[in-house]
Amino acid sequence: MKLTLPFYLHKAGAGFPSPATDYIEEDIDLNIHLIKNTPATFIIRVQGKSMSNVGIYDGDLLIVDKSIKPKNFSTVIANVHDELVVKSFIKERSLQFLSSGSQNFEDRIIINEDSNVFIWGVVTYVIHSKY
């Protein structure tokens, strides 16, 4: 599905307002700018507040790419015992685990050969509404 919106040539300043109606450059296709690998990309809605300390809130939309390998501290969607969760991927020495980013060590989910946990994809964009 192609979604195009007006794209303004003028950048939004953080200082004094400037009318930008005369600066429309073209329509922009959000798929081109937000999705790098279409067959491996999906959108999922966040439910819960465990990731709010890293700027991900209840109701946010996450754009997730299943083809990206997670790096240390990547935000990921993981399958934990057949339930999808959003967490931070952490690698310390030989240990890999998922965390909500809090200092609470009890929320850590260890990833190893014996656990029923695997990374489903890496979050590339977070979309949240101000309203």
Q: What's the pLDDT tens digit per position in 27-44?
A: 778 888 888 998 899 999
Q: Which domain does 12 fall in, by range?
A: 4-34
Listed in sequence order, the residues at least 6 apart from 131 whose beta carbon sits closer than 8 Å to its beta carbon are none
Total domains in the fold of the chain:
2
Of residues 74, 87, 88, 99, which has the active-site annotation? 87
In whole angstroms, give the CA distance from residue 2 to residue 21: 24
Does residue 29 share a domain with residue 46? no
Residue 50 bears catalytic tag: yes
Q: Which among 50, 88, 99, 100 is annotated as catalytic?
A: 50
CA-CA distances (angstroms) from residue 75 to 51, 90, 111?
10, 9, 15
- The overall average pLDDT reported for the chain is 84
73 and 117 within one domain: yes
Residues 18 and 77 in one domain: no
CATH number, position 113: 2.10.109.10
Do 104 and 74 fall into the same domain?
A: yes
d(CA 42, CA 127): 13
Q: Would you say residue 15 has pLDDT above 90? A: no
In this prediction, residue 5 carries a pLDDT of 57
Whether residues 24 and 49 fall in one domain: no
66-80 mean pLDDT = 96
Q: Are residues 112 and 83 in the same domain?
A: yes
pTM higher than 0.85: no
